[in-house]
Structure 1
Amino acid sequence: KIETIDVTPLNNEQSIQASLKAFAQFNRDPYQDPGTVMRHPGLLFLSEIGEVKQQVEHINALKDELVTRMHTLNARARNTHVKMAWRGVSALQLYRHITAVDYAPRKALFSWEGRTTSISRPHSKEEFIEIILKTKDMCPAHVSPLDWDDILRKEILYIQSVQENGDLVRMKPVAPHPRLLLYKTTDVKATDTIFSNVPTFVKTAPDCTIVELTSFDFSKTTTRRKKRVFIPIVERLNMYFRPFK
């Protein structure tokens, strides 16, 4: 679990060079977990943003087209292709969008999303059972093979017995990630809330108040209250049952 993340502020030419690197960083760092992305929050003020916004929209459309084509492959073929053709590349960093807004914000506020979870699309019982069966050869050292087979059998029986009045989903904690709130006016409600993975382009705003991102401290965060009920099914694989409303 990540306890702290240090933030290093950059300005002027340093920030421009760091932004160029961030936009083009598709390869993972040597010690980067494959399931994570490098995040480079920031703001780039432009006197004229129209042309850049058009270019950003074109780039994002190409990214979306790539995602669509990749998802015509089944999961196994897609993973094989990524490993062979994109060795060392983070697909998540390749797919993520760039953001450009065509207004001059009055306020820009950076903050952390520190205790959030990702919830998958609904799965079928068969999909969950297939995921469980793929762990057959992952018997923990402290469990005998016979006991492990019994654990898997009980997990499968449990899934088969789940009622049809809800969804089967996978839910897991998301690593802390920065977000950017942009305020077009002095209104209390933000105009845009942006996942600040890479720097955001905005129109030059001489009077913009910027609340910079501070270092992350997990002990100072609070857990967001879930509005829906999630019942554990197979917690070791982040499998949950979500009843319909």
Structure 2
Amino acid sequence: MVLENMFRDLESAYEHLKQAVAYLNAHWSTCVISGEVWSLPILSEQVALKEITPVLVQGRQAIEISQTMLQQFELEADQAPGTVKRLPGWFLLSDSVLEQIRNVNRMKDVVQAEIERVRLKKGLAETARTRLAREALGARISLKQLTRHIQAFDATPRLLSFTWAGHTGKTKRVPVGEVRSRLERLAQLQMQGKGIDIQDTPAGTALRVIHNLADHARLVKVEKVAPHPRVNIFFSHRSRYDAMLHANLPLFFLAGEQQTEIVGLKDFNFENRIAPRRNNKDSQRIPVLPEYGLYIDEDELWGRASPSMQLSPLAFESTYRARLKNKS
């Protein structure tokens, strides 16, 4: 009963989100001027594909598949946990849906905040968020599909260029105390599995490396990201894009007199992808436990402010927020 009471606000927020998405779907689908999406294969196991062939979908079918995707918060039957279904694409609309999309994004943030509230109340690690979401909302819930935002712009783009990001990785900052707890549990498992002293296990060796670090200190966790589609958006006639986004969901634009040029999403081939940049960030990081993807947080080391989220300098209303470094 206590757990049910704890989940009640989360379940309510989830229902409000589904209602907001249903309202959005009913509106935007009636004012489509043009648009298209690229259907991508889902992953049946947590292994990145070496080759990906997008399938172009247009017309009414593109609208219907997009409506389904916007409200698809659960994994498909053959979709591997931890993977994300994506549908890159675009639609030009005769009417703005910016406020409806902002409302959906707010509801997504409320759901995420409720999951975090329950996690903190139960004293669980950050890694428990997905488990809590599934306990409350269903065993097939995909937290990433549930919380990712939809993007809308009240303007007409000059150019949309869809590409593949094949070398990007994501970083997050984790407290040393959390790393230490995970390594202690892992060391216990390794000791039992290999029949050796705990200090001789790989995790035990890692624990000695971070022995003198304070629990509240942070490390940068670097994780590889599977190839994913992204889009560069040009509104002005400058050579540099005005916005760059992960193309996880269709983008929505307000149609105008300007013609929009589309560079569509092409096939992805691991062997033919663009070579990594010479100044690769990973080679410049200060390692702590590189075998676990853990490095020194240089912002904390040198007392620099972390990057902040600021509104992008677009001359019109949109949901887009550019990550700009704090110069202070």
What TM-score comes out, normalization by structure 1 length?
0.87
Extract unaligned runs of 5+ from structure 2. Answer: 1-47, 303-328
Aligned to 1:187, the other structure's residue is in SS state coil
- Conserved in 2, the CA contact under 8 Å of 1:125 and 1:168? yes
CA RMSD of aligned residues (A): 2.6
Deviation at 1:186?
A: 1.8
Cα 1:33–1:241 change in 2 (3 A) is farther
2:172 is matched by which residue type in structure 1? S
| Matched residue, 2:194 | 144
Match of 2:269 among 217, 220, 227: 217
Query: Measured at CA, do residues 89 and 80 of structure 1 come closer, stay the same or move farther in structure 2, by a change above 3 Å?
Result: closer
C-alpha distance 13-68 of structure 1, shift in aligned 2 (>3 A): same
* From 63, 72, 93, the counterpart of 1:46: 93
**TM-score of the pair, normalised by structure 2:** 0.66
- Structure-1 separation of matches of 2:139 and 2:106: 24
Shift, 1:115, TM fit: 0.8
| In structure 2, C-alpha distance between the alignment counterparts of 1:111 and 1:102, rounded to whole Å | 23
Which position in structure 1 is the counterpart of 2:206? 155
Residue 153 of structure 2 aligns to a residue whose secondary structure is coil
Change (3 A) 1:133 1:33: farther
Please state how far the C-alpha of 1:148 moved relative to its aligned partner: 6.1
Tell me, which stretches of 5 or more residues in structure 1 are unaligned?
none
- Distance in 2 between the 1:65 and 1:118 partners? 24
Q: Which of residues 214, 218, 226 is equivalent to 1:175?
A: 226
The CA deviation at 1:240 is 2.2
SS in 2 for 1:179: strand
Give SS of 1:60's match.
helix
Q: Deviations over 1:152-205 (max 9, x none)?
A: 2221110124599x8412111011111111111221111221221110101225
- 1:226 Cα deviation after fit: 3.5
Are 2:236 and 1:191 aligned? no
- Structure 2 Cα separation of the partners of residues 140 and 163 of structure 1: 25
Which is bigger in relative contact order (C-alpha 8 A, separation at least 6)?
Answer: 1
Q: Which has the higher helix share?
A: 2
Partner in structure 2 of residue 68 of structure 1 = 113
Name the residue aligned to 1:240. Answer: 295
Alignment partners' CA distance in 2, 1:194 and 1:237: 28
Tell me, yes or no, if structure 1 residue 115 matches structure 2 residue 167: yes
Once the two structures are TM-superposed, the CA of residue 145 in structure 1 deviates from its matched residue by 2.7
2:176 equivalent in structure 1: 125
- Deviation by residue 1:109-159 (Cα, 9 ceiling, x = unmatched): 1011111111112x3322211111222354399x72306651222211101
3-state SS in 1 of match to 2:61: helix
What is the Cα deviation at residue 221 of structure 1?
2.7
Alpha-carbon contact 1:103-1:202 (below 8 Å) kept = yes
Are the equivalent residues in 1 in contact too, given 2:170–2:223 (CA < 8 A)? Answer: yes
SS in 2 for 1:168: strand
Match of 2:82 in 1: 35
Out of 157, 163, 186, which is 1:105 matched to? 157
Q: Offset of 1:44 from its aligned partner?
A: 1.0
Three-state SS of the structure 2 residue aligned to 1:170 is strand
